[in-house]
Structure 1
Amino acid sequence: MEPYTPRTHNGSRKKLTLSTKEYNKITGTLASARRSRHYREEDEELDGHSYEEPSFIAETSFVRAPLNSRVVSNGSVPLASFKGKAKQESLERIPLDVQEALILEDLLYVLMGIEGVYIRHHPDYSPEDDDPLQGIRFVVSPSLDPSLRDLVERIIPLATYYTAISSFIELRSDLDFGMVNHALCAALRDMLKDYQTLLSQLEHAFNTSLQFSLQKLWFYIHPTVHTLYLLHQLVTELASADDASMSLPSSASVSDIEDNERDEALGLGGAHLKAAMSQMKKNALGVSVDSGNNIAVKGGEVLTIVYEKAQTMSGDPAAKKLYSTLLRAAGKPYVTMLQTWITTGRLLDPYEELCVKESKFINRGTLEMDYVDEYWERRYTLRDGSTVSGPSKRQAGIPSVRPQSGRLPGGACIPPLLEPLKHKILLAGKYLNVIRECGIEIKSHLQESEEGELLMDDERFYKFIEEAYTHANRTLLQLLLKDQQLVPRLRSLKRCFFLSQSSFLTHFLDLSQSELRKYVKAASVVKLQSLLDMTLSTDMHGDDAMFREDVRVTLASSKLYDWLMKVVNVSGVIGGSEDGQKTPSESAGHDESKKRLWAIIDALAFDYNVKFPLSLVISRKTILRYQLLFRFLLHCKHVEQCLTTMWIEQKGVVWRKSVPHHHDFEMWRLRVHLLRSRMLAFVQQIMGFATAEVLEPNWRDLEMKLTKVSTVDQLLRDHVDFLDTCLKECMLTSSKLLRPFSKLMTTCTTFALYTHSFSKSASQSLAAAESQFGDQAMAKRWDFLGKFETNFNHWFSVHLDHVQFAASSENASLIPLVMRLSSIKAQS
């Protein structure tokens, strides 16, 4: 393997090792200097004690080994510590060539991190207190000749670099630091092997060659200084990227983080409960559970640091080549994990290094119960919290940036090379994961088609990601649109939930009229479902008949406008209990007691059963929107039927009989007809606007988009946007429009409930007019009617004003409704 050492300035050196020719060039003799090393005598005694290990006495070669004189034996003191002090005292009186020989021997040990006789540890060095990742500092004896000391001081920083890099490799090779760190340490270890090979060659030259000098050592070691300096700079930045006192998260802290993610994702607990639980976790751990300082530097963060070093040092060709080599080596496991994810949909990330994370507590079962699309939106997410639409708000499970560097920690830090492709990486795996969940085998033909290994800075790797995303997206789209018949399903939903004028809904309301008048406490869902099935069997044909068994009757837990007002009102549920409002759980008991007094028609809704993977598109979130629109149209239809029934009854004799001598009664009767007519016109205009100018045009737009859709996420967004647009244009998302509208509908419903009372009053008025005393109760009749007129006129005027303002400022789609309502106002 070629070592990673830059060339010298003259370009004559390409390797760290010495060739045979270079050995032969070293001539001369240092034999006399070596003979003067009298401290290496064979039977050395110090204070009457031998410091040779008894078990090694027979091994003459080991006893004479230079390293043995530096190794501390159990229960003994190293010889070097004594001899060094003795020699330092007389170093000045030693000839210069002998000093050079002695210091050369010391350097060969010091460059391996072993303390020498004349090159000692820095006085401030403490093995127990000093950070091993900072390396060991050495100082040369002050008695060394200045001409030699200057050259030695240039060389000994290598020892600091070497010991720091060795300590980094030893520490970061632990399993908890992840596979990227393991790969980086393996690459660093290979480079240190080349360095050790160089030292062994230099030591061999020192022991065998006759003219090996300090200048020769510097000549051959000089290129390595720059290489190890660059490596030292890298490991120092990696070591200092996290807090110096950081320890890996314990199993308890990891569990707490996962619990916090699960509670946040599933919406469990109120704001105060979450805050209290979070504080308890912080107190127990002594740190913030989402603090970046508690996450080891691993995965994407390691690759980011190496890449940034390469970019920063791009002006130095040797540094750029070195860091690029380390980036490719460290990125191999990251690339392998990414390849597995984007080609099979399997997330194999045991040390949480990848930019994609999985919430394992969210599974397909949540599709049957959640109203926020947990499975699709939060089963697999980016660790940095960003979404296709933009960065997400601060939330549980997303660590804070490190204050020192401003980078996200660990796997949440996405390598800059992958930043533009991170959403495609996420979506490619998500698409394939959905296909896997359907039991369909996925063939990684993209992976097999590539020749050679993909590397982090390889252009082929990014082309591979693009192709994998395109393949996964096309495969899932075909599964949804063709195999799972998504479009016919949506048409079936539209016909069942939107067409209030359809014969299906009218037929169902006629059949279940008596049942719908009952209170909810007396409701029979089974009977309503039977009537619905009968209606669907009669009125549904073709493709619609295939899905009629998926439509189910359900009863809502709250009234439509009450629930909508809570959702859209900022001071309601969204604000929580901080503003004095009751949360849904707190008011559940109160709502349940009132619910029993509702008519079934106020709680009636349709549900729609759909299986995975169509449940990703027709999810609980979208079905809830369908239900809101359906209940809105159903309520309008119900009020229209009530007013129509009133009109039919008021075609009787008492309402048509002419009474010329009772002008007051004639005017009262005419005003009743006029008010009923205006109410009916209002409801019909609202229904006409909603169906003909909101739902149908938006549905046609959706159908057009479905024919051109290119990505699954675009399909999901188009479907949700369609429903949100319908809700907005039907005035169901604005509290200013909802309040007057709900008051108007309540007034119309209440007025229709007094149908028989008005008929009875008309009969009594006719009878009283023919008597000799006349009609004495006419004033009460006018007062009763006047309350309805005043109430309707007031809320109609308020509603019209709000609609006109909204149409002119924020919702131009309401302009046709303004025209419709203005015609009703002209009748008053």
Structure 2
Amino acid sequence: MIGFTDHNDSSFIAETSFVRAPLNSRVVSSSVATPKKAQSKGKAKQETLDRVSLDVQQALILEDLLFVLMGTEGIYITFHPDYSPEEEDPLQGIKFVVSPSLDPSLSDLVERVLPLGTYYTAISAFIENRSSLEYGLVNHALCAAIRDMLRDYQTLLAQLEHAFNTSGTFSLQKLWFYVHPTVHTLSLIYQLILELATADDPSNELSSNSSSDSDDSEEAARNEALGLGGAKLKAMLSEMGKASADLASGSGIQVKGGEVLTIIYERMQNMSGDPTANVIYGKLLKQAGKPYVQMLRGWVSSGRLLDPHEELLVKEHRFINRATLEIDYVDEYWDRRYILRDGSISPGSSKRHQTGVPAPRSVGGRMPGGACVPPLLESWKHKILLAGKYLNVIRECGIGVPRDNAIRDEEELSMEDERFYKFIEDAYSHANRTLLQLLIKDQQLVPRLRSLKRYFFLSQSSFLTHLLDGAATELRKSSKSASVVKLQSLLDIALNTDSAGDEPLFKEDIKVIMADTGLYDFLLKVVGVSGVIKEDGGIGEEEPKKEKEEKKSMQAIDALSFDYNVKFPLSLVISRRSLTLYQLLFRFLLHLKHVEQALSSMWTEQKTHPWRCRVPNHVEFTNWRQRVCLLRARMLAFVQQILAFCTFEVLEPNWHALEKKLEKVTTVDELLRDHVDFLDTCMKACMLTSSKLIKACSKLIVVCQTFAFYSSSFTKSANQALAAAAEDPSSDASKSKRWDVLNKFEANFNHWFQIHLDCVQFYASSDNVALLPLVVRLNSVKSA
């Protein structure tokens, strides 16, 4: 025998058999020891075991197993013949095969142990791969937890090697006795890392028969059709960044952050009947969730989003900041600055933001990366989002955010700890309470809303009467010719001379503006009628021409509106959308008020001599005058009833209801919702959300307005009739003309009045019961 030491060495004297000293198998002959290095490179021919005894076979195979358990092939246990390091995915692990010449009684036990080599190589490759920077903190923490478990495995291997080297009774059965619990443990970790490795790209799954050349060609054809096959596009996407490519398909986003925690949690739930799986996955979930929990604690307690790898469920749009709000205060800051990555916008809502939300995974339908909310946090995600939002609003107002020391930073929490959810609840309550106090008390929200009501809802509107009287000449001009500067000066004078009530609050924030579009055309666009707004969002070809003509002919009184200056953070409540609704209601009320004044002026004119004098033997002229006055009275009654209904039965009651809600409001979101609901309710009750009601009401009001414009023409016709009656009653040439004009006005008014009444009755009996009082009012006008 050729050995590495002298045969006379004492360590060999007492060793009489390989059963008592299996370590001698390594120095039996050069034919066994020498090929080791070459065999590992696949260059030497494997030796057969059928020519040696069973004890020798066991000793030889034990030595190989110690190598295989560390991921290295031995002499008689080698890599699978199909294994190729260049082609195989290391995350799938290396498969080993045992020499067919091994005795079947030993081969069965060896086959049971061999999966450990596959598991160990796969897990080691996973740790090495997922420890890179781009996989994020959750993956790093998971790898650290798995590495700690592998230390126990490596300690076991060291003990097994020591037993192999020192104990003459160490056998394959003993090896299996010691490692068989570890087989189950590593298999659990292996199945987990296999799911993590293949979740972002299911095509990576290990299956030698799962993909064929035809599948590859089909996939290549699809990629080519989608423009994903060229190097140019890849370079372009590299320059533009990964963001747009990731959003196109969930498979473009790596498995990280919340998705990792979700996969671990789901596996733990699916294997809840296995105590070992519960322990292993529970420990991994706790350790991997530590950085996630730490980021969440920082967000809900300070409003700072420290998420460099986009793992958290909250996403920040940094381009939306306070500077943009100072120019055009919109609710973009509130709705879009911070959002949930999964796109959900309110509790229980199925709606999602259309932009910025990645597509779900093609397999399983799970949201990718940070967009995947861990199941334990699903019911808390909106409070988590709002807590940080509230704190950011407070901080951007220059107010320091106090830290809640109820739970110290160094105190460890996990997603399965009830204290963690109490911490979230306390942080949310604290942030909500602080911001609510800032808005209502410090920023004087309620007085602001009262001033909006006063200026836009014609409440205590003596200043508006002064404005309309002082600016009558300017308001008769076209909207382009009217001077906004002059109108603003007249508004300031009207506000300063307003004698109704106390000094107007925030009068310096009210500004005169001229709308670009007529009120009713704009409302019809909003509700999408008459093909104005097509299904693709475009505007019809004929509409721009119509709008252009209307802009030229629109009077300043029809375009007059108010703007209101609101600073952050009140702009979150009085947003651009809210202010637009205030403006629409104001323009509608102003139009009614203007028509009412015009009809009232017509009544004043009809008290002059041509309308009051007696004309004997001129029954036709007397009837005509009575019909004109009656029609004017009906029109005035209609306009006054609409104005009174909108003011006293819609705006005032809803405003008082809003005031009561504001006194009891407990959350900022409830405050925002109550304010939006108030405006939406007012718009609906004032008939400004239904296309049929808008068209019928607008036609009717325009008929009344046009009739009032004909006041001087009617007076001229009356003078002509009186002159003709004084000369010759039968020579009244203008009789038929004045009756034609009157009949047209009567026909138009009666037609549109009936249509409007029918529409109001229909909606009052279906989905808008707030219109019921208006039905009674309109019926009184009809019977007049």
- Tell me, in whole angstroms, the C-alpha distance in 2 between the residues paired with 1:514 and 1:35: 117
Asked whether the 8 Å contact 1:385–1:391 carries over to 2, the reply is: no
- Tell me, in whole angstroms, the C-alpha distance in 1 between the residues paired with 2:32 and 2:366: 60
Offset of 1:413 from its aligned partner?
0.9
1:594-609 residue pairs with structure 2 within 5 A?
Answer: 594-609=550-565
Asked whether the 8 Å contact 1:307–1:327 carries over to 2, the reply is: yes
SS of 2:497's equivalent in the other structure is: helix
Range 737-746 or range 369-378, more displaced: 369-378
AA matched with 1:795: W
Offset of 1:298 from its aligned partner?
0.9
Match of 2:547 in 1: 591
Match of 1:733 among 683, 686, 689: 689
1:326-345 residue pairs with structure 2 within 5 A?
Answer: 326-345=284-303
- Tell me, in whole angstroms, the C-alpha distance in 1 between the residues paired with 2:722 and 2:235: 87
AA matched with 1:474: R
Asked whether the 8 Å contact 2:533–2:540 carries over to 1, the reply is: no
Offset of 1:370 from its aligned partner?
6.1
Match of 1:34 among 23, 48, 53: 23
Correspondence 1:718 to 2:707: no
- Tell me, in whole angstroms, the C-alpha distance in 1 between the residues paired with 2:98 and 2:493: 100
Range 193-202 or range 180-189, more displaced: 193-202
Offset of 1:347 from its aligned partner?
1.2
Match of 1:515 in 2: 474
Offset of 1:763 from its aligned partner?
0.6
Match of 2:120 in 1: 162
Asked whether the 8 Å contact 1:345–1:429 carries over to 2, the reply is: yes
Match of 2:727 among 771, 776, 790: 771
SS of 1:554's equivalent in the other structure is: strand
Correspondence 1:810 to 2:767: yes
> 1:210-252 deviations in whole A, cap 9, x for unaligned?
32221221121111111101111111111121214689x9896
> 1:301-351 deviations in whole A, cap 9, x for unaligned?
110110011111111111101100000000011101111111111111111
AA matched with 1:34: L
Q: Cα–Cα, structure 1 residues 638 and 400, in superposed 2: closer, same or farther, change >3 Å?
A: same
Q: Cα–Cα, structure 1 residues 457 and 359, in superposed 2: closer, same or farther, change >3 Å?
A: same
SS of 2:109's equivalent in the other structure is: helix
AA matched with 1:149: S
Match of 2:12 in 1: none
Asked whether the 8 Å contact 2:18–2:24 carries over to 1, the reply is: no
AA matched with 1:682: F
Match of 2:403 in 1: 444
- Tell me, in whole angstroms, the C-alpha distance in 2 between the residues paired with 1:413 and 1:209: 52
Match of 2:138 among 143, 160, 180: 180
- Tell me, in whole angstroms, the C-alpha distance in 1 between the residues paired with 2:344 and 2:476: 50
- Tell me, in whole angstroms, the C-alpha distance in 2 between the residues paired with 1:258 and 1:785: 71
Correspondence 1:427 to 2:386: yes
Range 694-703 or range 361-370, more displaced: 361-370
AA matched with 1:179: L
1:33-52 residue pairs with structure 2 within 5 A?
Answer: 33-38=22-27
Match of 1:677 among 609, 633, 645: 633
1:695-710 residue pairs with structure 2 within 5 A?
Answer: 695-710=651-666
Match of 2:740 in 1: 783
- Tell me, in whole angstroms, the C-alpha distance in 2 between the residues paired with 1:775 and 1:334: 93
Offset of 1:447 from its aligned partner?
6.0
- Tell me, in whole angstroms, the C-alpha distance in 2 between the residues paired with 1:816 and 1:175: 67
Asked whether the 8 Å contact 1:500–1:633 carries over to 2, the reply is: no
SS of 1:606's equivalent in the other structure is: strand
Match of 1:689 among 645, 652, 663: 645
Match of 1:141 in 2: 99
1:462-611 residue pairs with structure 2 within 5 A?
Answer: 462-499=421-458, 502-539=461-498, 545-570=504-529, 572=531, 574-576=533-535, 581-582=540-541, 591-592=547-548, 594-611=550-567
Q: Cα–Cα, structure 1 residues 543 and 677, in superposed 2: closer, same or farther, change >3 Å?
A: closer
Asked whether the 8 Å contact 1:682–1:821 carries over to 2, the reply is: yes
Offset of 1:400 from its aligned partner?
2.0
Q: Cα–Cα, structure 1 residues 40 and 457, in superposed 2: closer, same or farther, change >3 Å?
A: farther
SS of 2:562's equivalent in the other structure is: strand
Q: Cα–Cα, structure 1 residues 152 and 665, in superposed 2: closer, same or farther, change >3 Å?
A: same
Correspondence 1:233 to 2:196: no
Q: Cα–Cα, structure 1 residues 571 and 219, in superposed 2: closer, same or farther, change >3 Å?
A: farther
Offset of 1:147 from its aligned partner?
1.5
- Tell me, in whole angstroms, the C-alpha distance in 2 between the residues paired with 1:376 and 1:594: 36
Offset of 1:548 from its aligned partner?
0.7
Offset of 1:596 from its aligned partner?
3.1
Correspondence 1:325 to 2:283: yes
Correspondence 1:213 to 2:175: no
Match of 1:612 in 2: 568
Offset of 1:787 from its aligned partner?
0.6
Match of 1:412 in 2: 371
- Tell me, in whole angstroms, the C-alpha distance in 2 between the residues paired with 1:45 and 1:700: 97
Aligned residues: 740
Q: Cα–Cα, structure 1 residues 336 and 630, in superposed 2: closer, same or farther, change >3 Å?
A: same
- Tell me, in whole angstroms, the C-alpha distance in 2 between the residues paired with 1:28 and 1:181: 51
- Tell me, in whole angstroms, the C-alpha distance in 2 between the residues paired with 1:139 and 1:163: 15
Offset of 1:292 from its aligned partner?
1.2
Range 703-712 or range 572-581, more displaced: 572-581
CA RMSD of aligned residues (A): 2.6
Range 406-415 or range 626-635, more displaced: 406-415
Asked whether the 8 Å contact 2:40–2:73 carries over to 1, the reply is: no
AA matched with 1:121: F
Offset of 1:181 from its aligned partner?
0.8
Match of 2:225 in 1: none
**TM-score w.r.t. length of structure 1:** 0.85
Q: Cα–Cα, structure 1 residues 234 and 491, in superposed 2: closer, same or farther, change >3 Å?
A: same
1:32-431 residue pairs with structure 2 within 5 A?
Answer: 32-38=21-27, 70=37, 77=38, 81=42, 85-88=45-48, 91-244=49-202, 253=237, 289-367=247-325, 373-389=331-347, 390-393=349-352, 395-431=354-390
Asked whether the 8 Å contact 1:300–1:355 carries over to 2, the reply is: yes
- Tell me, in whole angstroms, the C-alpha distance in 2 between the residues paired with 1:481 and 1:222: 67
Q: Cα–Cα, structure 1 residues 543 and 503, in superposed 2: closer, same or farther, change >3 Å?
A: closer
SS of 1:362's equivalent in the other structure is: coil
- Tell me, in whole angstroms, the C-alpha distance in 1 between the residues paired with 2:706 and 2:679: 31
Match of 1:10 in 2: none
- Tell me, in whole angstroms, the C-alpha distance in 2 between the residues paired with 1:612 and 1:458: 38
- Which structure 2 residue ranges, 5 or more long, are not aligned? 1-15, 205-227
> 1:78-124 deviations in whole A, cap 9, x for unaligned?
567456x3522xx1111222111111110000001101100011122
Asked whether the 8 Å contact 1:253–1:289 carries over to 2, the reply is: no
AA matched with 2:570: L
Range 404-413 or range 494-503, more displaced: 494-503
> 1:459-514 deviations in whole A, cap 9, x for unaligned?
11111111111111111001001111100100011011102562121121111111
- Tell me, in whole angstroms, the C-alpha distance in 2 between the residues paired with 1:383 and 1:185: 25
Offset of 1:546 from its aligned partner?
3.8
Q: Cα–Cα, structure 1 residues 196 and 44, in superposed 2: closer, same or farther, change >3 Å?
A: closer
